[in-house]
Structure 1
Amino acid sequence: MTNLFSVFDPSSSMLNMSINWSSTFIGLLLIPMSLWLIPSRSTILWNTFIIKLHKEFKMLIGKKSINKGATFIFISIFSIIMYNNFMGLFPYVFTSTSHMIMTLTFALPLWLSFMLYGWINNTKHMLAHLVPQGTPGPLMPFMVCIETISNIIRPGTLAIRLAANMIAGHLLMTLLGNTGSTMMMSLLPILIIIQILLLTLESAVAIIQSYVFAVLSTLYSSEVN
């Protein structure tokens, strides 16, 4: 099992510093500078996509003056997570989003800032949020405990969900790929078709997981207002 999970270890190093994490930014070197300067079909498509996301996040947050520009944070998080997820699908490229150190870096500061803002500015609202409306009196202490625990584990669930989904698909593809050398020639076309289907599924998961992360972060931010 150690060898199986070792594909996710940042093994390449230089001067005792891991250089695998450079894959987080390596794609930016491949994007031509003209993409940012000259309008093209790809930029128009991406802008349309961003505007749709902006409208959806704006609807989730609510029309409050205090939240102006907040959607740009979540759109940026969505973009960088999706970009890293897709970079991990290329051969010999380190999947940074399959590590908790990366996913917690996104989730923990977001959740902590929401909590600090909510408890400092909207203390009554945050206390009221611990007891759902219509809860019977005897159950209130238990509901406070349950709501508090569910609130505390939110950054962990965000981080683990993203990392686990990235690891699961990559592990399955690695396991199937390793059986190719010992498989009969007649079964190889089936293996290749399965791998292509898995790659398509992983491409969908890359978009879905980044979208889920951004949407849940948006919903958590809307609760503290």
Structure 2
Amino acid sequence: MRVLLVEDEPEMAAALAAALKGHDMVVDRVATIGMAEEALLTNGYGAILLDRQLPDGDGLSLIPRLRARGVQAPVIVLTAQGDLADRVAGLDTGADDYLAKPFAIEELLARLRAVLRRPSDMPTEILQLGQLTYSAEHRQASVAGVVMTLPRRELLVLETLLRRSGRTVARSALEEAVYGFDDEIQSNALDTHVSRLRRRLADADAGVEIHAIRGIGYLIRRAS
């Protein structure tokens, strides 16, 4: 899942990004409302973590604008303004949750899981191909009922390919799903992830194949 983190305090942003990445999420960090709006124009997000006191204004002002554009990703407001009136203002503006600083990372993760469980948010479909089953809700792959232990980026590659099973997924789309703004992408990094994932699927007798489409990207399909 891709998360947009709107936080201008570098140490806080780095700590939050590290925690989220440790839970299989891709994180795009931006420091202003303007940068957040640009990110929302080019990327889809499963959730938005939004600070209020930003260099170019109150983060709450972003919420009505993104809702007007049809962006339905849940928003959790993170702020030092934790008085009752501030919390009410945030929720009335359209935030899905409101968390006052300082807070424990564990609480943020729990609140994030809670908003993603709501019916209109995180997709809960089961993707199946061959002997492979992938739960979008739990971000878990299994073969014939046996759970596979996959590194975060290989899991993200797998989900992206499965969502377009039988169709070619462009390299750019895969890189967007796997890497955040701050991640350094080596020239052959994506190919390495795909190669390792392909080997793990073969070793598990998943009954699927990942094919490279020269000059375009990759596709996954049932093994012949």
- TM-score interval, normalised by the smaller of the two chains: under 0.3
TM-score, normalising length: structure 1: 0.28
Structure 1 or 2, whichever has the larger Rg, is 1
Larger RCO (CA within 8 A; separation ≥ 6): 1
More strand by share: 2
